[in-house]
Amino acid sequence: PDTPDIPDVLLADLDRALARTTDALFTLQRPDGSWEGRLSPSAPATADVLIAMHLADPEGCRDLIERGVSWLLRTQQEDGGWGDDADTESTLNGTALTVAALALVAPDRAAGNIRRGWRRVEEFGGAEAVRDVEKCSLTVLVHFYLVLAGLMSEEGLLRVPIELSLLPGPLRRKLTFAMPTAMAWGLMCAAPAEGGAGHRRWARTAVNRAATPRAIEYLDGLVGFEGPDGGFVESPMMSANVVIGLALARQRPDIVRHCLKYFRATVKPEGAWSVTRDLEVDATNFITVGMQHAGLADDPRVGNAVAWIRRAQRDEEFIWTGAPSGGWGWGLPSGWPNSGNTADAVLALSGAGHDVRDPQVRRGADWLLRQQNHDGSWSCFARVGRIASLDPSFAMVGKARSPKVLYGPCAVMSAEAVSALGLSGACPPGDPRLVRAYEWFKRVQRADGGIDNKWYVGRVTGTGSVLRALGDVGLGHTEVARRCVSWLRLHQNPDGGWGRTAPPDGPSTVEETSMALLGLVAAGTDPADPLLVRGARWLIEHRNADGLWSPSLVGVYFLELLYRHDHTANGYALQALARYRESARRAL
């Protein structure tokens, strides 16, 4: 049957929506050309930081501790728990970690909140559930903090192996961004038993004595990379873990002071902390690409954003993961270079009319090509050879509990790299490296056509990202692409959007609806197809009064902690509507 025409009213609404959205985003642009990219406050991160300040310098941090405790008390859920975000469903990770922090930091003031929170922990399964990595992904952290707070026994408490620092260089470089925590906690576990610290000590051995200076050397090197204003991995939560380990090991008070300064610099106006620092490179990349598709590539304000992206490219190798120079991280001065940010930056530069003849585009494309895994995929930080990338969380929990424990190949990272290499001209159609990537997509695609990924919840983002990449490089009509389209068609919600699970159980989110629409448009799906019309309409109708969107809890951080990021929602939605309008205009 003939596909119906695109409704004229939708085209008019698209024009108005894009004009309003771009105006709103320009008002948020910083003078240097970038966008901030704000993450929402996190109960687990705030609790972690409070414990760190309490152990390291309770008097010097009294004001921050007071503000953090007040925020946690205000955000306790009606069921007594805390979630990964202020107004989200309570989790065992968030509840148990927060209870431990309040019991350590404010036992009298928060006594009633602690009792309610512990009842919620018991509803999750209590101490037995905390010890079970299948139920509590942060089991190492949570169990230890509850021991410190006197709420759990040491039975089953896991040792963090400082011996990781003795791994050969090629293997050590594959350790991911949990490594600073592993090294600091390894120092704590290997420290001589001195008593009075309130925590368990493991046997002191010749091996961990030899590993101690290597672990300290690792942390020193990262402090030098992060600079005077950076924490560890540009993350309050990771920095808190380092402080806790070093404070209890009675090691390196200078590094501890460095992190305490970082906590003061990164506290949110609410008095809380997010799991990681604001994602300014992500935000600027996403929005810039969206502006370009909205017809604003020649606007001087977009030019300023492109210039900022150029300045954010890293000129040095990142020896901790073996990454070459030429990549981008998620923030300045010291976000770790990774495949996602690098690919998105190359896309933004390409959208400004710069192909691989541009030296910075060439360096970014070369970075991606060097980081391609042997199987054709891309991971986030480190290239994976025939031996899978290691993650200290594997050693910390004693077994691989899920694919998200190992930061190996990711469909979203791989898709972004494919789009960047194709659209920049670094890899022409038929290039063997794109063929290898396509074969990897084919291998990991599920029987139903959906595709998992590691850095976002559910399968919509993985499926939509791969479909977009295939369309970007002229493979939008291949078998993998057709199966992605079928999966997205089957999983569109009745309201026209997409969510993290099969309808009707997964409420539609801006991020997932945007990625689904982006994939469908890039793959050449008829813009008049009701599948796309309903998706575009959902995004238009779910804007806030200011023309922007509310983010959802779809980002995956360390060990399955979730976060939401304002400009992931705004940037992807802008891209989706702008590319849909481009497609619709071509069809007229």
- Give percent of the chain with pLDDT exceeding 70: 90
Q: What does the pLDDT read at residue 253?
A: 96
Instruction: Tell me the three state secondary structure of residue 121.
Output: helix
Six token digits for residue 223:
């402090």
Closest-CA residue to 453 (of 362, 556, 544): 556
Q: What does the pLDDT read at residue 170?
A: 65
pLDDT in tens, 329-367: 998 878 899 999 999 999 999 999 999 999 999 999 999
Spatial contact of 242 and 259, defined as CB atoms under 8 Å apart:
yes
- Rounded Cα distance, 576 and 66, in Å: 43
Of the candidate ranges 60-64, 222-226, 378-382, 474-478, the one whose mean pLDDT is the lowest? 222-226
Spatial contact of 467 and 486, defined as CB atoms under 8 Å apart:
no
**Helix H or strand E segment including 556:** strand 555-556
The answer to whether residue 3 scores a pLDDT higher than 70 is no
Q: What does the pLDDT read at residue 169?
A: 67
Q: What does the pLDDT read at residue 284?
A: 99
Between 585 and 202, name the one with better pLDDT: 585
- Whether 43-266 shares its CATH topology with 278-587 is answered yes
**Helix H or strand E segment including 581:** helix 566-587
- Rounded Cα distance, 53 and 61, in Å: 6
pLDDT in tens, 263-299: 999 999 999 999 998 899 999 999 999 999 999 999 9
- Rounded Cα distance, 535 and 550, in Å: 16
pLDDT in tens, 85-100: 888 899 999 999 999 9
Q: What does the pLDDT read at residue 400?
A: 39
Distances (CA, A) of 156 to 94, 96, 146, 147, 195: 20, 17, 13, 11, 20
DSSP for 360-405? HHHHHHHHHHHH--TTS---SSS---SSPPP-HHHHHHSS--STTT
pLDDT in tens, 512-545: 999 999 999 999 999 999 999 999 999 999 999 9
DSSP for 444-504? HS-TTS----SSBSSSHHHHHHHHHHHHHTT-TTSHHHHHHHHHHHHT--TTS--BSSSTT
Nearest 10 degrees: Cα torsion 443, 445, 448, 451: 160
Q: What residue ranges do the domains of the chain occupy?
A: 43-266, 278-587
Of the candidate ranges 79-88, 227-236, 566-575, the one whose mean pLDDT is the lowest? 227-236
**Residue 457 is which amino acid?**
V
Helix locations, 267-316, DSSP H: 280-291, 300-311
DSSP for 179-246? HHHHHHHHHHHHSPP-S-SSS--PPP-HHHHHHHHHHHHHHHHHHHHH-TT--STT-HHHHHHHHHHH
- Give percent of the chain with pLDDT exceeding 90: 74
What number of other Cβ atoms are within 10 A of residue 222's Cβ? 21
Distances (CA, A) of 21 to 18, 28, 509: 5, 11, 18
In words, the CATH class of domain 278-587 is: mainly alpha
Tokens 């972690």 map to which residue? 48
Fold of the 43-266 domain: Glycosyltransferase (1.50.10)
Average pLDDT value for residue range 248-257: 95
Q: What does the pLDDT read at residue 196?
A: 41
DSSP for 150-161? TSS-STTPPPP-
Six token digits for residue 427:
């890899």
pLDDT in tens, 412-440: 999 999 999 999 999 999 999 999 999 99
Residue 232: partners with Cβ closer than 8 Å, 6 or more residues away: 180, 219, 222, 226, 238, 239, 241, 242, 259
Number of helical (H) and strand (E) elements in the chain, helices listed first: 24, 2
In the chain, the N- to C-terminal Cα span, in Å, equals 19
Spatial contact of 191 and 248, defined as CB atoms under 8 Å apart:
yes
Q: What does the pLDDT read at residue 405?
A: 44
